[in-house]
Amino acid sequence: MKMRLTAFLMFVAILTSLTASATPPPPDNYQMSTPSYQLQNEEQVWFCPTDSNILVANWRDFRFGYRQIGVGRSILGGDFWTDSLVSIDFQKFDRQSDPTLTVDVNGNFYMSYLDYQSTVLTQDDSSYITFIVSTDKGATWIGPYTVEQGLGPYFEDKQFITADRSATSPYLGNVYVAWARFPNPNKIMFARSTNGAQSFDLPVVVGPVTSFSYPCGSGSIEGGQFANPFVGADGSVYVTWTAVGISDTINCFGDYCLKLVKSTDGGVTFTTPSIIRFTYGNWGFVDGGIDVYNEPAAVGDVTGGPFGGSLYIEYANQDTSNHIYDDYNIEFIRSTDGGANWSEPIYVNDDYTGPGAMFDQFHPWLFINEEGVLLTIFYDQRTDPNHYNFDVFAAYSFDGGESFTTNHRISDVSINPGLLAKAVIAQEGNPNPMNLTLSPMAGKIAEYIGVTAFYDKVTAVWTDTRMGNQDVFGANWHIPLLDPRLLSPIQGDTVTTGLPTLRWATGWKNSDDRYRIEIASDSHFGTILYSGVSDTTFVTLTSPDLGSGYYFWRAKGFKISSGDSSDYAIPQIFYVNKFICGDANANGTVNIIDVSYIINYLYRSGPAPIPPQSADVNSSGGTNIIDVSYLINFLYRSGPAPNCPTL
């Protein structure tokens, strides 16, 4: 074991000295919001599906010292933007917040925001969810239209919206909104419009207060927060949100979770909420005092392509097994049966994860393009060894969410949390302006960012600090061919066969990608033991049959249509430990030395058998002195052959 550990540490040193694979540089970044000493954050963005030269974005804008909604528009494919504030003609009250945005298949844009009064003594009876609509690709807007038909004794919060864009849906064109309604205990609400957001059906409760009783005592749990509606290929409507659920009914433990409801009648009725995933770290913090949530971003594949009908959800989740840092990662789950079952989560971020991982990833947003390609962006600390500053990274999935590509840095200047709270202007309306410093809003950097795509062209928007304050920045780029992301075996893995299966994530679209794979006995690939080409994202060796020992492997991708190729991915090392029953020291043979090895392990604190099953030669479920006798009987007395448990 000491020898193997030493070799592994040597490998880590070798990897540190290797030149990293060349990934595309960050695209050009640009400021979208009008320069201001105040805050701008909480961004959304969409391409116009009928004219890819046009994009619309919105964000929360404090340029006058209080919450308003900024609107950006580009008629040059994102290369140049103009921006303004939502007109006072579209404001029900004096404050607006929580901007969201969507578009239908005909290119009609729908913008929603929380519209509330700042002058009332209580938040109750003070808010509307307001919509405005553009039927000319974002050039002009009409409205405002409110979801509620009058003020009620409640306060609305965090409304997200979507439109049914599925060509096979009987509800094509419907507009849906979901949100949290306060005061506590709050509920998750939903409403639909069948006439382009100009009016809405009466809201329905889809996430009620959850009551619990014996043996857990009696009480209730709030409905939750961050409700996100999305639509499936058949027109089914889903809402997912963060909540608290009972994870242990015997000991009455509760944990954060993601809940889901489904409607098969266009949003009229819904199923009872189900828990689809328990999560950790909701309402937590990362360095810089930034709030982090398990807020779900969700989309359905309505493209009719090879993965049509699939449902996808991603969220930031804390790795509670990493007791040193409890880092956040971007987790991703999918359903191929209409939300009845969900896959085990995979990580979208491709930096080191596990014990000692220190870099947090948070605030993801998810999008699916016309070809069913998944695109996601998120904040990521990996570029700062002190895990304080962070950047925007992107990843893509070309295989229906089975895997995500090598991650791609998008911001070309890191974001500094120390600048997020700076917001000083002259107070509006004061004839003798005084400096006014706003406190950070919504966890310093707000709660979401945005990404959209028209086929391979992508646009992202986020909150940036390079100008010394919170500003809206963006970037445009085309989905690149990336170095393959090596999935297994990865650094330090052990395999028990000399003919292992190597797996990697797609670097480009299915049927237009090809990969070269190499295995070598040295990190510089001076002695190549295997070289092959695959049209799939895995290969199982048929030769050579590798002996026990350390090996390096790597892969590079090719885009067939253009002839482009990536660099080789950074090599990963794995250890072949052929599992021979009775070969407790893993040297490839069974002899008296293995007997000594087992005795040394049992009675002298010697190293453990490799793997442990190799010394359980009578398949009793553990290693003991009877195995020693059994092995001696086989070696010298024609006894039965070793019969170990399978791995």
Work out how many domains the chain is built from and give that number. 3
Q: Are residues 559 and 591 in the same domain?
A: no
Residue where a domain stops, chosen among 449, 478, 507 = 478
Domain contains 6: no
Domain contains 15: no
CATH at residue 510: 2.60.40.1220
DSSP-assigned states of every residue in 286-332? ETTTEEE----EEEE--S-STTTT-EEEEEEEE-TT-TTT--EEEEE
CATH at residue 437: 2.120.10.10
pLDDT in tens, 56-78: 999 999 988 889 999 999 999 99
Question: How many Å apart are CA 58 and CA 472, to the nearest integer?
Answer: 9
Q: Are residues 556 and 587 in the same domain?
A: no
Q: Are residues 505 and 473 in the same domain?
A: no
Domain contains 425: yes
Q: Are residues 593 and 563 in the same domain?
A: no
Domain contains 10: no
Q: Are residues 84 and 207 in the same domain?
A: yes
Q: Are residues 124 and 34 in the same domain?
A: yes
Instruction: Determine the pLDDT at residue 122.
Output: 64
Domain contains 149: yes
**CA dist 41 to 1, 286, 301, 469, 525, Å?**
52, 18, 28, 10, 48
**Residue ranges making up the domain that contains 564:** 482-576
Q: Are residues 192 and 229 in the same domain?
A: yes
Instruction: Determine the pLDDT at residue 153.
Output: 87
Please, which residues bridge with residue 242 across strands?
A: 225, 258
Q: Are residues 393 and 436 in the same domain?
A: yes
Domain contains 16: no
pLDDT in tens, 622-642: 999 999 999 999 999 999 999
**CA dist 191 to 72, 237, 266, Å?**
27, 11, 10
Instruction: Determine the pLDDT at residue 231.
Output: 98
Residue where a domain stops, chosen among 576, 595, 612 = 576
Preceding amide of 99 cis, omega within 30 = no
Q: Are residues 111 and 133 in the same domain?
A: yes
Domain contains 18: no
Q: Are residues 623 and 527 in the same domain?
A: no
The type of residue at 425 is I
Annotate 304-315 with b (16+ C-beta within 10 A) or e (fewer): ebebbbbbbbbb
Residue where a domain stops, chosen among 551, 576, 601 = 576
For the chain, residues with pLDDT lower than 70 are: 1-22, 120-124, 184, 211-220, 249-251, 421-443, 647
CATH at residue 630: 1.10.1330.10
Question: pTM of the entire structure?
Answer: 0.88
Q: Are residues 596 and 557 in the same domain?
A: no
Domain contains 41: yes
Q: Are residues 568 and 451 in the same domain?
A: no
